[in-house]
Amino acid sequence: MRRQELLKALRGGPEGMSGAAPSVATGSFEAVAPYYDVLMSSVPYDVWTEYYRLLLSQMGSRPLRLLDVCCGTGIVSERLALAGFTVTGIDLSPGMIAVAMDKAASSGLPLRFVVADATQFDLGETFEGAFSFFDSLNYVTGIDGFRQAISRVGAHLEPGASFIFDLNTAYAFENRMFDQQERNQKAPIRYSWKGEYDPTDRIIQVSMRFEVDGQAFEETHYQRAHSDEEVQEALRLAGFGSVRAYDSYTLDPPRKKSDRVHYTAVKL
């Protein structure tokens, strides 16, 4: 699958909604939590997990105990647990964690999920590797908070442990890659997303409207385009080295038109 097809699959399907009952505004990833896995059903999760393992091999890293930062409903954690990893996931959304825990309870896989803020969490243990996928760290919209999140990850890693994460770029926001809709009346969940990007503070506001079974609800999400310089500095301050950046889904360096970048780093 080509990189642009991966991006389209990740960000959702094409086309909008109409005729729903009065909508309700909610906090990020709460009302949508029960439907998240259906909404993201077109995402090539196997490609994401294989790319993660490819990046690990590029680092010469072989972790077994992993920390999934901003894990959502734990889909990638599940894939990695099936591959033999033991995974602990954290997420700020109680709704998303509830879904992840329900699935873990029935799977019997070595999974644990905890409601926690990525900028403040303290699990009282360390791991051999950590990852944070699907532009989760873009949701930390202050540079101080972003540094704190990177620092908290570092505090939970053993020396030599790997940290791999991806970020949306300013190019993605400037080119309205969040704007998308699903109008198909047969779709289990229909939606309309529209982003408004402020290049001054590099923050995008994404207004989201969903419809399920004739009921509609809304969420507003915010992301920040962290610059490469900010990312590199945050990693250095948190005690990471051997930092590399990739044009996502490849082993090539980022381009001017990279809409997503993956970073790899080693805890010193």
pLDDT band at 42 (very low <50, low <70, confident <90, very high): confident
The helix (run of H) or strand (run of E) holding residue 240 is: strand 240-247
Q: How far apart are CA 263 and CA 153, in angstroms?
A: 14
Q: Rg of the chain's alpha carbons, rounded to an integer?
A: 18
State the chain's mean pLDDT as an integer. 89
Segment 226-247 shows an average pLDDT of 98
The answer to whether residue 56 scores a pLDDT higher than 70 is: yes
Residue 4 has pLDDT above 80, yes or no: no
State the alpha helices, DSSP H only, in the chain. Answer: 3-11, 36-39, 45-59, 75-82, 94-107, 143-155, 170-174, 228-237
Does residue 157 or residue 31 have the better pLDDT? 157
Closest CA to 210 of 221, 201, 202, 199: 221
Q: What percent of the chain has pLDDT over 90?
A: 76
- What residue ranges of the chain are covered by domains with CATH 3.40.50.150? 45-169+227-267
> What mean pLDDT comes out for the span 94-120?
96
DSSP state of 142: S
Task: Read off the pLDDT band of 59 (50, 70, 90).
Answer: very high
Domain 15-30+171-223 bears CATH identifier 2.20.25 = yes
User: Can you tell me the distance from the alpha carbon of 48 to that of 252, in angstroms, rounded to the nearest whole number?
Assistant: 16
pLDDT, position 2: 38
The letter for the amino acid at 137 is: L
Cα–Cα distance for residue pair 78/101, rounded to 1 Å: 11
Q: What residue ranges of the chain are covered by domains with CATH 2.20.25?
A: 15-30+171-223
| Prediction pTM value | 0.89
| Two tokens, residue 230 | 């900010």
pLDDT at 28: 64
Query: Which amino acid, residue 75?
Result: I
Q: Rounded CA gap, 177 and 168, in Å?
A: 10
What confidence score (pLDDT) does residue 7 get?
42
State the fold for domain 45-169+227-267: Rossmann fold (3.40.50)
